[in-house]
Amino acid sequence: MSKVGGIGPEKPATPEVQKICDEVKQQVEQKTLRTFEVFVAKSFATQVVSGTNYFIKMHVGGEEYVHLRVFQCLPHAGHKLELHSVQTGKALNEPIVYF
């Protein structure tokens, strides 16, 4: 169990998390200056703040992974998604941590 405000445990990706990733894919490609043919969510962790931070491990082809931090606003703000940051050059066995 995570502490209040901390990042939760890493869990297998769900269809809902993949949908979030699909929605921010273009932003990820712009930020990394790359085009990803493979873009599959593998696992994720969340942090509840004034909305939800999603920390997501993405498979982007071969042995390469990227970690995404995506913020989703609270319902009254329209559940908007914002790509906060991207970490490239990750591996499957690297844990998701706060960044």
Residue 76 maps to a domain:
yes
Average pLDDT over the chain reads: 89
pLDDT in tens, 49-91: 888 999 999 999 999 999 999 998 877 666 688 899 999 999 9
| Domain count of the fold of the chain | 1
pLDDT band for position 98 (50/70/90)?
A: confident
Confidence (pTM): 0.86
Q: Which of 55, 62, 64, 61 minimizes the C-alpha distance to 21?
A: 55
Residue 39 maps to a domain:
yes
| 1: pLDDT strictly greater than 60 | no
Q: In angstroms, rounded to a whole number, what is the distance separating the alpha carbons of residues 98 and 65? A: 16
Residue 6 maps to a domain:
no
Contact 98, 85 (CB under 8 A): no
Residue 95 maps to a domain:
no
Residue span of the structural domain in which 35 resides = 11-90
Residue 20 maps to a domain:
yes
CATH of residue 22's domain is: 3.10.450
| DSSP run (H or E) holding 69 | strand 64-73
More confident residue, 17 or 7: 17
Residue 25 maps to a domain:
yes
